[in-house]
Amino acid sequence: MTCEYGDETYQVSQLYDALRDLQIQVVWLTPNIDAGSDNISKYLNSSWEQDQDFRVRFIKTYSPEDYLRVMANSACLIGNSSSFIRESSILGIPVVLVGDRQLGREKDINVQSVEPDRERIKAAVRWQLGRGLYKSSSLYGDGKVAARIADTIARVELYSQKTLAYVSEG
C-alpha cells in the first residue's frame, strides 16, 4: 500500500502491511491525540476498508485492567508504546518495538527493536513468536515498592521544626 496522508504515516503503513502479510490476529490500539494522529487514523480506516480480509480489530481505548489482560494474553506486542517496554518486561511478553519513538529508553531482553520496514518487522515478529514467553523481569521493579515506601514512612520519627504564628490584622 502507498502512503497517501503524509510522512507521519510511513511507519504505520509499514507496520500495517507487515501484520497483514503475516496473517495473524491483531488487536490494534488506535493512536493517541498526538500530532499527526488524524492522518494515521484516516490511513488505517482507508486501508482496512480496502482489505477487510485482514484479521484486525481496532480499539480506541481499554480500562487499565483490560489493557493489562490483553497484554498478558498476547503472543507478541508490536508497535511503539512505552508500555511495550515497561509492563511487557514484567509479564515476559515478546515485543517488536518499531521505529525510534522509544529511542534511548532502557529495555529488557524481551524487546527487539526494528526499523519501520515491512520485511524487518515481519522477520522480528516471526522470531519473537517462535521464541515465546520470556522470564519475568524486575528491570522496572518487583511490584513491591509501595509496601516498602509505606513501611519506611511508618518508621520515620515525626518532629516539628517550626511553629507558625499568625498576626491578626487590626
36 pLDDT band, cuts 50/70/90, is: low
Q: Can you tell me the distance from the alpha carbon of 78 to that of 26, in angstroms, rounded to the nearest whole number? A: 10
Contact 139, 85 (CB under 8 A): no
Lowest model confidence (mean pLDDT) among 37-41, 75-79, 112-116, 145-149: 37-41
pTM: 0.75
The CATH H-level superfamily of 7-137 is Glycogen Phosphorylase B; (3.40.50.2000)
Who wins on pLDDT, 166 or 23? 23
- When pLDDT is cut at 50, 70 and 90, the band that residue 143 belongs to is confident
Q: Which three cell numbers stand for residue 152?
A: 519506611
Q: Which of 5-9, 71-75, 79-83, 139-143 has the weakest average pLDDT?
A: 5-9
Dmax of the chain from CA atoms?
Answer: 81
Closest CA to 92 of 131, 132, 136: 136
Are 116 and 11 a contacting pair, CB within 8 Å? yes
Whether the predicted pLDDT of 4 surpasses 60: no
Q: How far is the first Cα of the chain from the last one, in angstroms, to the nearest whole number?
A: 78
pLDDT at 8 over 70: no
* CA angle (61 as vertex; 58, 66 as ends), nearest 5: 105
At residue 124, the pLDDT reads: 97
Confidence of residue 126 (pLDDT cuts 50, 70, 90): very high
Q: Which pairing describes strands 111-114 and 56-59: parallel, antiparallel, or unpaired?
A: unpaired
Q: Distance between CA 44 and CA 13 in Å, rounded? A: 8
pLDDT at 125 over 90: yes
